Amino acid sequence: MSHSESPKVAVIMGSQSDWPTMKHASEILSELGIAHNSLIVSAHRTPDRLVSFSKSARSKGYKIIIAGAGGAAHLPGMTAAFTPLPVFGVPIESKALSGQDSLLSIVQMPGGIPVGTLAIGKPGAINAALLAASVLALTDDALAERLDAWRQARTDAVAEQPVDQP
Ligand code: RP5
């Protein structure tokens, strides 16, 4: 857990090998002061862990789940099948198919069980965290101010004109 208050966001991933991507979601959540947990939950290798985590997520106080998985990426969809919480899926950039397999596995959910699917890889992990922050900020004015400041800092960092790089 990253903060003393109870975690609002769970960042789950199918494998240790997903952490280099999913840590970017965790870092953004930390920057914004959002309490969260990062957990390995595999749809294929630890299916019982998937069921127990997903079924208990709401009662544990989580508000949003960010789920990253690669290849035959069933984790986000199966998690969404077991919980009414919003699930944001991050397709991991797989070696075999550069994450296109992950993307298509996550995005093409049947109507009725939604997974909000982000971009492949690091940008998707970052944006999943920012999207979670936007949702939580709807009912948290202090977080809304931190998110506004975070966004303004990125805007302020953009130069008006390009320069030659050394
Ligand atoms: C998926 O299989 C994981 O999400 C990971 O992206 C992929 C490969 O896992 P490892 O073989 O690296 O553990 O379940």
Closest to 33 measured CA to CA, from 57, 58, 8: 8
Residue 17, ligand 1, Cβ within 6 A: yes
147 found inside a domain: no
Amino acid at 119: A
pLDDT over 80 at 1, yes or no: no
Statement: the pTM of the whole predicted model exceeds 0.90: yes
pLDDT value of residue 166: 84
Amino acid 5: pLDDT: 82
102 assigned ligand-binding residue = no
**Domain annotation covers residue 46:** yes
In a domain, 3, yes or no: no
Total of domains in the chain: 1
CA torsion angle for 61, 52, 128, 4 (degrees, to 10)? 40
CB of 115 closer than 8 Å to CB of 88: yes
The residues pairing with 12 across neighbouring beta strands, listed in sequence order, are 39, 67
Q: Which domain holds residue 69?
A: 9-142
pLDDT at position 4 is: 64
Does residue 2 form part of some domain?
A: no
Given pLDDT bands bounded at 50, 70 and 90, which one contains residue 28?
very high
What CATH number has the domain bearing residue 27?
3.40.50.1970
148 labeled part of a ligand binding site: no
Mean local confidence (pLDDT), 61-68 = 98
Does any domain span residue 161? no
Give Cα separations from 12 to 21, 27, 150 (angstroms). 11, 14, 24
Q: Is the residue at 19 inside a domain?
A: yes
Residue 166 lies in a domain: no
pLDDT at 51: 98
Res. 80: pLDDT tops 80: yes
Q: Whose CA is nearest to atom 12 of ligand 1?
A: 17
Mean residue pLDDT of the chain comes to 96
Contact 50, 79 (CB under 8 A): yes
Q: What is the pLDDT of residues 101-141, one digit of tens each?
A: 999 999 999 999 999 999 999 999 999 999 999 999 999 99
Query: Higher model confidence: residue 1 or residue 54?
Result: 54
Q: Is 91 in the pocket of ligand 1 (CB under 6 A)?
A: no
Q: Provide the CA 71 distance to its chain's centre, in angstroms.
A: 17
Q: Between these two residues, 128 and 4, which has the higher pLDDT value?
A: 128
Question: What is the ipTM metric for this complex?
Answer: 0.97
Q: Is the predicted pLDDT of residue 32 greater than 90, yes or no?
A: yes
| Placement of tokens 């008006």 in the chain | 160
Q: Which residues contact 129 (CB under 8 A, 6 or more apart)?
A: 9, 11, 24, 25, 26, 27, 28, 29, 32, 34, 66
What is d(CA 2, CA 127) in angstroms, rounded to the nearest whole number? 19
* pLDDT(2) > 60: no
**How far is CA 61 from each of CA 56, 131, 162, rounded to the nearest angstrom?**
9, 18, 46
Asked, for residue 97, whether it belongs to a domain, the answer is yes
